[in-house]
Amino acid sequence: MDSAVSDPHNGSAEAGGPTNGTTRPPSTPEGIALAYGSLLLMALLPIFFGALRSVRCARGKNASDMPETITSRDAARFPIIASCTLLGLYLFFKIFSQEYINLLLSMYFFVLGILALSHTISPLMNKFFPANFPNRQYQLLFTQGSGENKEEIINYEFDTKDLVCLGLSSIVGVWYLLRKHWIANNLFGLAFSLNGVELLHLNNVSTGCILLGGLFIYDIFWVFGTNVMVTVAKSFEAPIKLVFPQDLLEKGLEADNFAMLGLGDIVIPGIFIALLLRFDISLKKNTHTYFYTSFAAYIFGLGLTIFIMHIFKHAQPALLYLVPACIGFPVLVALAKGEVTEMFSYEESNPKDPASVTETREGTEATTSKGLEKKEK
Enumerate long-range contacts of 38-43, CB under 8 Å, 24 or more apart. 38/244, 39/4, 39/242, 39/244, 39/259, 39/260, 39/261, 39/306, 40/299, 40/302, 40/303, 40/306, 42/186, 42/190, 42/242, 42/244, 42/261, 43/193, 43/242, 43/261, 43/265, 43/266, 43/298, 43/302
What is the rounded CA–CA span in Å between residue 299 and residue 331?
A: 17
- What DSSP assignment string belongs to 237-257? -SSSEEEEETTHHHHGGG---
Q: Residues 7, 162, 247, 265: which is the catalytic one?
A: 265
Q: How many residues does the chain have?
A: 377
Helix (H, G, I), strand (E, B) or coil at 10: coil
Please give the distance of CA 195 from its chain centroid, rounded to a whole number. Answer: 7
Q: Is the dihedral of CA 266, 267, 268, 271 positive or negative?
A: positive
265 is catalytic: yes
CA dihedral 111, 113, 119, 123 (to 10 degrees): -140
CA dihedral 365, 366, 369, 373 (to 10 degrees): -30
Is residue 343 within 8 A of residue 290, CB to CB? The reply is yes
Q: Residues 219, 247, 256, 353: which is the catalytic one?
A: 219
What is the rounded CA–CA span in Å between residue 58 and residue 66?
A: 7
Q: Name the amino acid, one letter, at 244.
A: F
Is residue 193 within 8 A of residue 273, CB to CB? The reply is no
Q: Give the active site residues.
A: 219, 265
